[in-house]
Amino acid sequence: MADEVKLQRVEGHGEERFLGSDVFQSDGRALPPSRRGGTVREEARDVDVYHSADVIVVGGGPAGCAAAWAAAKAGADVTLVERYNCLGGLSTGGLVMWIDRMTDWQGNHVIQGFARHFIERMPKEGVAGPPPEDWGSTDEKKVAYWGQRTTAFHGIVQWAPTLDPERMKLLNQEMLLEAGVRIVFHAWAARPIVKDGAAKGVIFESKAGRQAIMAKVVVDTTGDGDMFARAGAAFDTDIEEGDVHHSMNTGWVLGGVDMNRWINWKVLYPEQLRDFMEKGRKELGFFQTPYVSWRPDIALFLGPRQSGLSALDVDDMTEVEIRSHRLMEGHCRFFRENAPGFENVYSLQSASQLGVRHTRRLGGIERIERSGWSDGTPVGSEVGVSPSISPKFPVVSVPYGSLIPRNLDGLLAAGRHMSCDANSHGFMREIPQCWLTGHAAGVGAAVAANRGVQPREVDVDEVRKILRKQGAHLHKDSAVAAVRKDEAIAAE
């Protein structure tokens, strides 16, 4: 039958930051295949220009919000187009309210800029996480406490807070409006406008029909590279087989819980927890335990994480939604009947956005690669500094060229589809890194628009100067200059 779907657990996904959650691959589908085949011809038509701007940002997720804010702060006239009714992308509409690490393994705050401005403006009751004095701590008691609250890894406490998604929606909106950004909600960017090898704007669809926005520079922060891919720019799609980072899910939250009681039980009675997990898998197929949220009476579930399905295929995306909604109710019932702290649990909300981790990655003029993790020195075009994936590696320097297409002008790309290899994508796709690359792309776009040059032609030192003025953390200019000197010598 169409609704009989079995989920097979995929072993080997115990990466620490995901707390050992499972990834599942389906051996059945909830819907029959669509009746595909043939073509129809769409008539040519003139499209009304809705607006013109210096910079258009396509997609209002973390990268898009940072890009729009930064570009406006740098003096550009900015318009942001968002297909949903709110800003924040997966951090809000996707309920990925747990923000991954923004500190290095010594506790230094390395992802700052827009990210820091944003979190410091959040109301205190909307932020859960360790105090600054604990960042980088290896104290066993602190690590044990915060490790159960998604903010201590490899025996080190990190700055990885959990934020209230509704307050994030409002704050994103207000920060952009204060900066002078024009926001267009309920507008789906359909294709880029390209002339003479350069992006000149986008065509979008809304209730008003098909319209265009013209711009000097386009910033693609769709997360899937929709604009640069449809413009013909190069991109990569390779993945690490079996890696959690290319799976999909719809998140949900359950209310009426006592998360502190739940955490105490699972820590004190690990054998009971194993029996509980096995029973859940037998009854539901897919099964996971919850994450903490910004409140102790709300539990977050980021599942089911499903591999083998594409976020560029509408049938696959529909499949994930159907399974996730069923499993939300199944988990709510099972936890109410079996889990300490969940006796009064109820279904509160499912995410309005599908949790996509990977589709396309830009083919940029530079990219972050696994071979560079252990180098420890900045790159010559550095526009950001990211924490590394584990204490074995130093911080990772983000090159400006990782935001610039090899074969397309007039466009920058930021967020989870930035230019990097499959290994580096595992952490460069996270929300803090999207804030980081979005911030850099926004400044780069503003400089290009203000100077009347292509994004690839901007002076990176000018970009760095503006980024630093806007609060971004970068390596010292002298260290970057030394790298450039060595690169120039090597080129000779």
pLDDT digits (tens, 9 = 90+) for 274-309: 999 999 999 998 898 999 999 999 999 987 777 778
Rounded to whole angstroms, the Cα distance separating 256 from 456 reads 52
Backbone angles phi, psi at 335, to 5 degrees: -65, -40
Give pLDDT tens digits for 242-273. 555 568 889 999 999 999 999 999 999 999 99
pLDDT for position 242: 55
pLDDT digits (tens, 9 = 90+) for 2-55: 344 444 554 443 333 333 445 666 567 888 888 889 999 989 999 999 999 999
| Host H or E run for residue 183 | strand 182-184
Between strands 156-157 and 198-206, the pairing is unpaired
The C-alpha R_g of the chain, in whole angstroms, comes to 22
CA–CA gap between residue 122 and residue 102 (Å, rounded): 16
Q: How does pLDDT run across 326-372, given as a tens digit for each residue?
A: 999 999 999 999 999 999 999 999 999 999 999 999 999 999 999 98
Q: Is this structure's pTM higher than 0.85?
A: yes
**What six digits make up the tokens of 436?**
């980081």
Give the whole-number percent of the chain exceeding pLDDT 70.
Answer: 93
pLDDT tens by residue, 51-92: 999 999 999 999 999 999 999 999 999 999 999 999 999 999
The answer, yes or no, to whether residue 430 has pLDDT greater than 50, is yes
CB 210 within 8 A of CB 422: no
Buried b (16+ CB within 10 A) or exposed e, 178-209: eeebbbbeebebeebbbeeebbbbbbbeeeee
Helices 259-268 & 270-284, crossing angle to 10 degrees? Answer: 110
Helix (H, G, I), strand (E, B) or coil at 298: strand
**Under 8 Å between Cβ of 26 and 2:** no
Q: Which one-letter DSSP state was computed for residue 108? A: -
For 401-417, the pLDDT digits (tens) are: 999 999 999 999 999 99
CA distances 22 to 14, 25, 242, 288, Å, are 8, 10, 11, 7
Q: How far apart are CA 63 and CA 29, in angstroms?
A: 33
Per-residue pLDDT band for 100 (boundaries 50, 70, 90) equals very high
In the chain, the domains with their CATH numbers are 47-122+164-245+357-491 (3.50.50.60), 247-355 (no CATH)
The torsion region of residue 346 among left (phi > 0), alpha (psi -120 to 50) and beta comes to beta
Segment holding 291, helix H or strand E: strand 291-292
